[in-house]
């Protein structure tokens, strides 16, 4: 980012660009608050799907069609999940896989011959790892983010198409149907067998991941962008990456999960043309290559994937190309936050059962629908 800012300022000598690094929890609130107050940033980092569209429906995000051609928008990964009624509200920045990083040498030491592909294989691997005194799976739920991630990498197993996620999000399918809270049953099984670190509710997401860095755990949930740091900690070539082993009866069981993060222009910006020029710069070849040099994958269809080196990076790229978009991108956030995020904490604390979480998710969905009829109408039209 700093390099891109420097280049932009060199090409626009009368322009000064300032950047702000936001904590994850602040992304939700800072932009709409600033927009409502009339002083938003010109450009805002935006997650995919409903996270972007909620802001767009509130009038905080500028449609990009006046600044880019349809061909440019497609090249820049302006996806259907950030478009509405023919208007595109965001372009991509980087893409990544969602899955599990693991320590290859630890698996070998514990007698695990290969990466687990099925649920039973994963349970068998975890039992062997636990018997050697290691933590099989390290997670951190204190900041609640891992509940969202677990919903995404487990939730597809009982689904046949991405349309099932949309139907769960509008009430056509029900969260309190055992079929659709089975992912919480499986998470609880890992917990009950002692395969997840006992202090999970005392650690933040990244603290849970650090156990893998330190050689204390075999698996941790991770996005692909953290792999370079793990390699630095435990050795290049010693890091594996996999999707959640298959357990479900849905056609999507075993399908990888991926997502694309992006950036949009604030509707309240006084510098929309300049903001669009900055986005265009971010998608120049040298900027795309800079993202890859840092261990990431740029969200632009012109990216030359032949330059990808290293088995783990090839695995992640394949997951990005063949995966299903992150489930929570289309689930109303009230459901994700209340049932998946807070719910996982309660599951690990023994305060809720998987059935309880299914009922809570359905209750929260019905509450959201009744309290937000205008948003629900937008939601239904968006999903058509």
Q: Which two tokens stand for residue 9?
A: 């300022």
Inside any domain, residue 296: yes
In the prediction, which pLDDT does 243 show?
A: 97
In the prediction, which pLDDT does 379 show?
A: 87
Question: If DSSP codes are grouped into helix, strand and coil, which group holds residue 143?
Answer: coil
3-state secondary structure 301-328: CCCCHHHCCCHHHHHHHHHHHHCEECHH
Confidence of residue 342 (pLDDT cuts 50, 70, 90): very high
Inside any domain, residue 48: yes
Q: Which two tokens stand for residue 354?
A: 């998987």
In the prediction, which pLDDT does 315 show?
A: 96
Is residue 384 predicted with pLDDT exceeding 80? no
Inside any domain, residue 286: yes
Bridge-based pairing state of the strands 217-223 and 324-325: unpaired
In the prediction, which pLDDT does 75 show?
A: 97
Is residue 31 predicted with pLDDT exceeding 80? yes
Residue range 168-193: mean pLDDT, rounded? 97
Inside any domain, residue 211: no
Confidence of residue 26 (pLDDT cuts 50, 70, 90): confident
Inside any domain, residue 342: no
In the prediction, which pLDDT does 129 show?
A: 99
Tell me what percent of the residues of the chain surpass a pLDDT of 70.
Answer: 100
Inside any domain, residue 227: no
Could you read off the pLDDT of 243-300 as tens digits, one per residue?
999 998 999 999 999 999 999 999 999 999 999 999 999 999 999 999 999 889 999 9
Count CB atoms within 10 A of the CB of residue 330.
Answer: 21
Inside any domain, residue 13: yes
Inside any domain, residue 289: yes
Domain with 27 in it:
2-95+257-328
DSSP string covering 324-353: EE-GGGTS-HHHIIIIIIHHHHHHHTTS--
User: What is the number of domains present in the chain?
Assistant: 1
Q: What is the CATH number for 302?
A: 3.40.190.10
């Amino acid at each position: 980012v700093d390099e891109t800012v420097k280049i932009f300022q060199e090409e626009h000598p009368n322009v000064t660009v300032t950047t702000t690094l936001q904590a994850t929890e602040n992304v939700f609130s800072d932009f709409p608050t600033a927009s409502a107050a009339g002083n938003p940033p010109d450009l805002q980092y935006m997650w995919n799907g409903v996270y972007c569209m909620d802001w767009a429906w509130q009038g905080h995000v500028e449609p990009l069609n006046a600044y880019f051609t349809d061909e440019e928008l497609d090249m820049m990964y302006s996806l259907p999940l950030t478009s509405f009624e023919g208007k595109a509200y965001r372009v991509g920045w980087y893409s990544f896989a969602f899955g599990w990083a693991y320590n290859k040498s630890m698996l070998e030491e514990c007698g695990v011959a290969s990466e687990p592909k099925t649920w039973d294989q994963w349970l068998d691997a975890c039992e062997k790892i636990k018997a050697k005194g290691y933590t099989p799976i390290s997670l951190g739920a204190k900041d609640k983010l891992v509940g969202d991630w677990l919903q995404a990498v487990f939730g597809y197993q009982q689904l046949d198409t991405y349309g099932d996620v949309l139907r769960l999000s509008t009430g056509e399918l029900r969260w309190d149907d055992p079929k659709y809270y089975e992912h919480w049953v499986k998470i609880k099984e890992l917990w009950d067998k002692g395969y997840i670190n006992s202090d999970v509710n005392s650690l933040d997401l990244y603290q849970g991941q650090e156990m893998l860095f330190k050689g204390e755990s075999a698996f941790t949930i991770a996005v692909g962008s953290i792999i370079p740091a793990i390699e630095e900690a435990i050795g290049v070539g010693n890091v594996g990456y996999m999707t959640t082993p298959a357990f479900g009866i849905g056609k999507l069981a075993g399908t990888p999960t991926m997502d694309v993060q992006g950036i949009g222009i604030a509707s309240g910006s006084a510098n929309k043309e300049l903001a669009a020029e900055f986005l265009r710069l971010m998608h120049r070849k040298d900027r795309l290559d800079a993202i890859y040099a840092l261990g990431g994958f740029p969200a632009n269809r012109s990216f030359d994937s032949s330059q990808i080196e290293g088995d783990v990076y090839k695995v992640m790229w394949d997951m990005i190309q063949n995966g299903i978009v992150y489930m929570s991108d289309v689930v109303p956030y009230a459901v994700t936050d209340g049932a998946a995020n807070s719910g996982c904490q309660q599951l690990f604390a023994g305060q809720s059962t998987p059935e309880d979480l299914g009922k809570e998710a359905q209750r929260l969905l019905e509450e959201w629908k009744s309290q937000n009829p205008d948003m629900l109408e937008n939601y239904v039209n968006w999903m058509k």
